[in-house]
Amino acid sequence: MWFIQPKKDYVPEMPWERTAEPEVMSWQIRVRDYNTLVANVVFSFMLFFMAGLWFYMGFFLGEGGFIEKASIVMFFLLVPVAMSMTHQTSIVVYRLTDKGYEMFSWKPQIDSVKPVMKWTAIVSGIAVLVAAFFNPYFVLGAVGPAGLGLIALSMGNASSYQELVRGAEHCSASWLDVEEVALWRKRRLIGLRFTFHASEGVTQNGYRTLYCKKGEEDKRVAFIREKVSEVPYVERKMEVFEGGMAI
């Protein structure tokens, strides 16, 4: 799930393009590489909805006893599923050389969300069927477990969906192309501004993001500023989007 921290060292396994350039520093980090405020608001809404559904089933349909206990179990099973949707993290691996930098990132949640959703559907489905013996109207609650089961099945069989959710990305750039260096200390985020050629005659500006571990941001930014000493340096907040981009 989202809270499982990677124990594996991915740096030696990445298919780096700049292997001819000696490595100066490298690191890997697990981070929420998107606008976390929006995700937190969405999760709060989902939590409020699930709490309301639990209250309705437990106290209006359940009338106490087993059904109320079953609804509590279903609530705590669905909370981590909701968090896996709104609190996804990416594993990001960086490699810096004297001439440029390289980055690989991907979301590993797809590997853990599928079994969680599968077992959530099975356990909650059994709970609904047993509860139906006490109150037939509780059968309506089977819609949720059935939906989770179908989602888990589609996630297991659709390779295109898995690739989309995994969001794998690779980026390689030269220090010569950096136009500005920015640092957002609150999120320990370094932004390297580039000009991107979106299409013929159309250019866009934006930051490529480099996330740092706690206490390492000054060391990373000092090395980068040494390589791009002629470009401006600022410290400010950045608007972060998925895909390692910011503005």
Residue 26 identity (one-letter amino acid): S
Residues 54, 118, single domain; the answer is yes
Residues 149, 206, single domain; the answer is no
Q: What is the pLDDT of residues 98-130, one digit of tens each?
A: 999 999 998 876 666 566 666 666 666 666 666
Q: Give the three-class secondary structure for 26.
A: strand
* Dihedral angle sign, alpha carbons of residues 209, 9, 97, 171: negative
DSSP secondary structure string, 150-168? HHHHHHHH-HHHHHHHHT-
Reported as a pLDDT band with limits 50, 70 and 90, residue 3 is: very low
Residues 117, 211, single domain; the answer is no
Residues 140, 222, single domain; the answer is no
Residues 183, 158, single domain; the answer is no
Reported as a pLDDT band with limits 50, 70 and 90, residue 209 is: very high
- Mean pLDDT value across the chain: 78
Element (H, E) at 241: strand 240-241
Reply yes or no on whether the pLDDT at 1 is more than 90.
no
pLDDT value at residue 237: 93
Q: Angle between the 109-132 and 143-157 helix axes, to the nearest 10 degrees?
A: 150
* Residues 6+ positions from 138 with CB-CB distance below 8 Å: 57, 61, 62, 67, 128, 131, 132
Q: How far apart are CA 191 and CA 211, in angstroms?
A: 9
Which pTM was predicted?
Answer: 0.69
The neighbouring-strand residues paired with 25 are 96
Region class of 180: left (phi > 0), else alpha (psi between -120 and 50), else beta = beta
Q: What is the pLDDT of residues 41-60, one digit of tens each?
A: 877 887 777 777 667 666 66
C-alpha distances in angstroms, 179 versus 21, 24, 184, 204, 208? 22, 21, 17, 13, 11
Residue 48 domain flag: yes
Residue 102 domain flag: no
Give how far the C-alpha of residue 225 lies from the chain's centroid of Cα atoms, to the nearest Å.
29
Reported as a pLDDT band with limits 50, 70 and 90, residue 240 is: confident
Domain count within the chain: 2
Residues 200, 134, single domain; the answer is no
The percent of residues above 70 in pLDDT, for the chain, comes to 60
Residues 45, 81, single domain; the answer is yes
Contact status, residue 49 vs residue 55, Cβ threshold 8 Å: no
Region class of 215: left (phi > 0), else alpha (psi between -120 and 50), else beta = left
Reply yes or no on whether the pLDDT at 229 is more than 80.
yes
Residue 15 domain flag: no
Q: What is the pLDDT of residues 136-166, one digit of tens each?
A: 655 555 555 555 555 655 555 555 545 555 6
Residues 197, 227, single domain; the answer is yes
Residue-range definition of the domain harbouring residue 235: 178-246
Q: How far apart are CA 127 and CA 131, in angstroms?
A: 6
Of residues 238, 110, 107, 244, the one with CA closest to residue 173: 244
* Residues 6+ positions from 173 with CB-CB distance below 8 Å: 100, 101, 102, 192, 194, 208
